[in-house]
DNA sequence: TTTATTATTGCCGTTTTTTGCTTTATATTT
DNA sequence: AAATATAAAGCAAAAAACGGCAATAATAAA
């Protein structure tokens, strides 16, 4: 059995169960515990997992419980993230917006996926640093205290100089007639710039936000190529979006 | 069951219920109370929770339990941060570098201080967002996985367009003769740009790093205006720096 | 092809870590 | 103050990690 094969097996086991015991793996793969120990040590050095006494744990399993438990409607958001991840291919160049739903997407990116990922969100950037195969590029600018994303002239200018395959964005409010709207004018400006710099725009939104609107408009609903909610695409709640040219997942 | 798993379980229980009893946890996880006691003791030492008689309580949201509290030589670094903060005045425009010492500085900024603060470090930016009177401006660019700072052409270009009153920088190695040096070439390039964009440069370094050197050079020791270590400025270890034109704090 | 070199793997003895138990000390409650 | 619960310190057994070593496999060089 090749070393590389073992590494793959170990990684997928870790991803699947969040943790493994060295003794278990050694028995499963029928090699000595020393070999497994060395394998895991290497994988740790490569930041693919975290080695602990007696075994290893997944990097994602850093149950930063404070955040995980405080996210509103986490269940729905991670469903959305799951669907979004399916759009990604090796080599994709993407942009990820701020907000808890997009953060969940960042968290869900598989460890073996090769990506170049732009973001103006500090928490998203933080999360992406845990992904060994993701190149992270930060869009700079003044940082908003509430939303923890860079905004303002500088951020918008930086965005004007890039073009990404997909951008994954969140929104404060969305309505099939009024489009995407926000409470904050500055945020609207950056979102516009994000949409402009992407070949395809994917909106991530929990169904609770559907049919709501606010003061400032980001874009028409037609500017969105794909919309992802936690609902089944055939759900009646999505009917009003179906006569637009949007893919619904 | 791995120790790490127990730690995670204990933490999430504490976050969930705000307080736990050691006996309860011991029974739940089916290990001896001594083991749990030791676990909780470690978690307390890492500032993940607070150990109390008979159990443990959550730190709550007040304390900055944001992350990684197992910083090497934290004591020294927060002494350094204390001295650095004394240089700041209302209205100052500063740059803060990455690294744990600079992070400690960011953490130590008093809540009532009005500042405009540039940084290319994600953890530093994260920390500064907690300061209501600090305007945070992120310097973008590709992000290094190990050092969690933006580097590369884009970051350097962005730095070339600003001028700050003070920059607070860390370094891998420092020597009175060879100046500031680093292990990583890319990092050196950004640091050069940082120094160039600041009226005054302040070096923060624990004394352990004095008289060490590495491959790539950031700058001569003369490029530094102020050097802060955890030592008394009169300490003999600093002698070799005294015949340079540096203020030592 | 044969030979030299390097990498990988299992084994073994030693050291470190972990854990439960016991004893003694300290805290809390009645 | 007495009774009870909890903490701390030390100890020993077991598990795991580490480092060196030698056999073998894989790779490069002659």
Interface test with A, best of B1, B3, B8, B60 (most A CBs within 10 A): B8
Q: Closest approach of chain A CAs to the CA of B218, in angstroms?
A: 23
**Residue B74 — very low, low, confident or very high, per pLDDT cuts 50/70/90?**
low
> Under a CB-based contact definition with an 8 Å cutoff, are residues A20 and A56 in contact?
yes
**Residue A31 CA, distance from chain mean position:** 36
> What's the pLDDT at B227?
93
Q: What is the pLDDT of residue B243?
A: 82
In terms of Cα–Cα distance, which of A219, A180, A189, A198 is closest to A95? A198
What mean pLDDT is predicted for residues A75-88? Answer: 84
Beta strand A50-52 pairing with A92-96: unpaired
Question: Over 80: is that where the pLDDT of A61 sits?
Answer: no
User: Reduced to 3 states, what is the DSSP secondary structure of residue B77?
Assistant: helix
What pLDDT score does B44 carry?
A: 87
Burial per residue of A65-103, b for 16 or more beta-carbon CB atoms within 10 angstroms, e otherwise = bbbeeeeeeeebbbbbbebbbebbeeeebbbbbbbbbbb
d(CA B85, CA A162): 38
Share of chain B above pLDDT 90, in %: 43
User: What percent of chain A shows pLDDT beyond 70?
Assistant: 94
Q: Write out pLDDT tens, residues B172-231.
A: 889 988 899 988 889 999 999 999 999 999 999 988 888 888 888 999 999 999 999 988
pLDDT of residue A60: 66
Rounded CA-CA distance A107/A58 in Å is 12
> Nucleotides on strand D with an atom closer than 7 A to protein CB?
5-10, 15-20
Upper half-sphere CA count for residue A223 (Cβ side, 13 Å): 22
Given a cut of 60, whether residue A63 has pLDDT beyond it is no
pLDDT given for residue B58 in this prediction: 78
Is residue A184's pLDDT more than 90?
no
Average confidence (pLDDT) over B111-115: 87
CA atoms of B120 and B116, how far apart (whole Å): 14
- C-alpha B88/C-alpha B122 separation (Å) is 21
Query: Domains of chain A, with CATH numbers?
Result: 3-57 (1.10.10.10), 65-248 (3.40.50.1360)
Looking at per-residue pLDDT, the higher value among B66 and B1 belongs to B1
Minimal C-alpha gap between A190 and chain B (Å): 15
State residue A66's pLDDT score. 42
Of A94 and A73, the structure prediction assigns the larger pLDDT to A94
Give the residue-averaged pLDDT of A197-206: 92
Rounded mean pLDDT, A25-53:
90
Q: Identify residues of A whose CB sits under 8 angstroms from chain B CBs.
A: 19, 21, 47, 50, 52-55, 57, 61, 63-66, 69, 120, 122-123, 125-126, 128-129, 132, 135-143, 145, 148, 150, 154-155, 158
Kindly calculate the radius of gyration of chain A based on its CA atoms and give it in whole angstroms: 20
Q: Do residues B228 and B205 make contact, with C-beta atoms less than 8 angstroms apart?
A: yes
Per cent of chain B over pLDDT 70 is 92
Please give the pLDDT value at position B212.
Answer: 83
Q: How confident is the model at residue A74 (pLDDT cuts 50, 70, 90)?
A: low
Q: Order the strands of the A50-52 sheet from edge to edge.
A: A19-21, A55-57, A50-52
């Amino acid at each position: 059995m090749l070393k590389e094969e073992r590494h793959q097996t170990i990684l997928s086991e870790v991803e699947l169960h969040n943790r493994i015991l060295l003794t278990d793996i050694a028995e499963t793969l029928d090699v000595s515990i020393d070999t497994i120990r060395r394998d895991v040590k290497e994988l740790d050095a490569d930041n693919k997992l975290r080695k602990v006494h007696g075994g290893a744990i997944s990097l994602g399993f850093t149950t930063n419980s404070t955040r995980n438990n405080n996210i509103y409607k986490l269940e729905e958001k991670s469903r959305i993230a799951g669907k979004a991840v399916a759009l990604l291919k090796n080599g994709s160049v993407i942009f990820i917006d701020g907000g808890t739903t997009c953060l969940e997407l960042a968290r869900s990116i598989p460890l073996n996926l090769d990506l170049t990922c732009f973001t103006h969100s500090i928490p998203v950037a933080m999360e992406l640093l845990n992904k060994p195969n993701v190149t992270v590029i930060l869009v700079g600018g003044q940082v908003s205290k509430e939303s923890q994303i860079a905004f303002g002239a500088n951020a918008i200018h930086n965005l004007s100089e890039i073009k990404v395959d997909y951008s994954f964005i969140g929104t404060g409010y969305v309505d099939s007639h009024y489009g995407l709207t926000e409470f904050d004018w500055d945020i609207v400006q950056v979102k516009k710039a994000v949409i402009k710099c992407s070949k395809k725009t994917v909106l991530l939104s929990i169904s609770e936000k559907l049919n709501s609107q606010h003061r400032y408009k980001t874009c028409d609903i037609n500017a969105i190529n794909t919309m992802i909610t936690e609902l089944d695409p055939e759900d009646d709640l999505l009917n009003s979006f179906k006569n637009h040219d949007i893919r619904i997942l």
